[in-house]
Amino acid sequence: MVHIKANYSSYAKYGFLVAASCELLTMALIIALNQDKALAYSIVHAIALPMILGSLCVILIIKWLQDMESEKDKVAAYQAKQALKVANQTLPFIRQNSPDALKQVCKIIRNETQADAVAITDTQDVQVYVGHGEEQFCKVHTQISLMTQKAIRDNRIIESNDIREHAFRSLMIIPLSENAKVTGTLKIFFNKPHRITLALHEMAIGLSQLISTQLEVAKVEQLKTMANEAEFGALQNKINPHFLFNSLNAISTLIRIQPDKARDLVGKLAPLCVSTLRMLMR
């Protein structure tokens, strides 16, 4: 009832009042149920002050729990802010969807998470690796590891704070998805153990969701561009060569009447003519 009716800031005060009321009720029952009233009053007199003061502990406990909850909210807000910051920085590169662009994405994530190395993989191979032992790692490790395969297969984040793999002691593998299908992973490495904290875990979840969304947007934009190019190509293929020759004949007639306008039409028709002839010659 106190939790529902009282304000959040008043929980400690009402908690103390409830605890003190329970202690007073206990002492009242001692007096009421004891036939030896003198003994009952003696007991109550002895325990009254300690029991009432003990109720003050309720205030400390409630305040401690509120502080923990507040700190958790602050950490969550900070990590959400960091995830958005990383997402905004990586957005231009993810849209390019090239090895060099993905390398820049890894560098940004490495700097923001203070990791020793960051890698991006697809479902089979390591696409980009940036950080500790970069040259050696890229030469030896081209295929994804068993842990990465498990993360892709189960579609869940895998964490380890005490691994002994490639001089790394902490590792986080985050699946990346497109249209609810895992298409790769983001891997964050640390040389020291116990670097995968709850804050980093929360940030990684938000970051993976944002990156996955950006990958989907980039894919849609790429498909849209390809569709526009295909539509333009189909339109060019539909143009009959006789149309071009008829246009040239019309322009030759226009040269005698309006030479300036004819010159402008030739300039506009030339690129279309060249591209169409090239397609016909393929």
Instruction: Say whether both 212 and 253 belong to one domain.
Output: no
Q: Give me the torsion for CA of 263, 265, 266, 268, rounded to 10°.
A: 130
Whether 26 maps to a domain, the answer reads: yes
Count of domains observed in the chain: 3
Instruction: Say whether both 139 and 197 belong to one domain.
Output: yes
Whether 86 maps to a domain, the answer reads: yes
Instruction: Say whether both 154 and 250 belong to one domain.
Output: no
Residue 113's CB is within 10 A of a number of other CB atoms, namely: 19
List of residues 6+ apart from 18 with CB closer than 8 A: 2, 58
Strands 181-190 and 158-160: unpaired
Instruction: Say whether both 129 and 248 belong to one domain.
Output: no
d(C-alpha 245, C-alpha 185), whole Å: 56
Whether 66 maps to a domain, the answer reads: no
pTM: 0.58
Whether 190 maps to a domain, the answer reads: yes
pLDDT, position 211: 78
Instruction: Say whether both 203 and 243 belong to one domain.
Output: no
Per-residue pLDDT of the chain (282 residues; tens, 9 = 90+): 555 555 666 777 777 788 888 888 888 888 888 888 888 888 888 888 888 787 788 888 888 887 777 777 777 777 777 777 887 888 788 777 778 888 898 899 899 888 999 999 989 998 899 998 887 776 666 788 888 999 999 999 999 888 876 678 899 999 988 877 898 999 999 998 888 887 788 787 877 777 777 777 777 777 777 777 666 666 555 555 566 666 767 777 777 777 787 778 777 777 776 766 666 555
pLDDT, position 172: 92
Whether 77 maps to a domain, the answer reads: yes
pLDDT, position 190: 92
Instruction: Say whether both 143 and 214 belong to one domain.
Output: yes
d(C-alpha 119, C-alpha 129), whole Å: 4
Instruction: Say whether both 45 and 167 belong to one domain.
Output: no
pLDDT, position 237: 59
pLDDT, position 130: 92
Whether 59 maps to a domain, the answer reads: no
Q: Give me the torsion for CA of 177, 126, 116, 97, rounded to 10°.
A: -60
Instruction: Say whether both 168 and 48 belong to one domain.
Output: no
Instruction: Say whether both 120 and 221 belong to one domain.
Output: yes
Residue ranges making up the domain that contains 20: 2-54
pLDDT, position 242: 61
d(C-alpha 121, C-alpha 111), whole Å: 19
Phi, psi of 265 (to 5 degrees): -65, -40
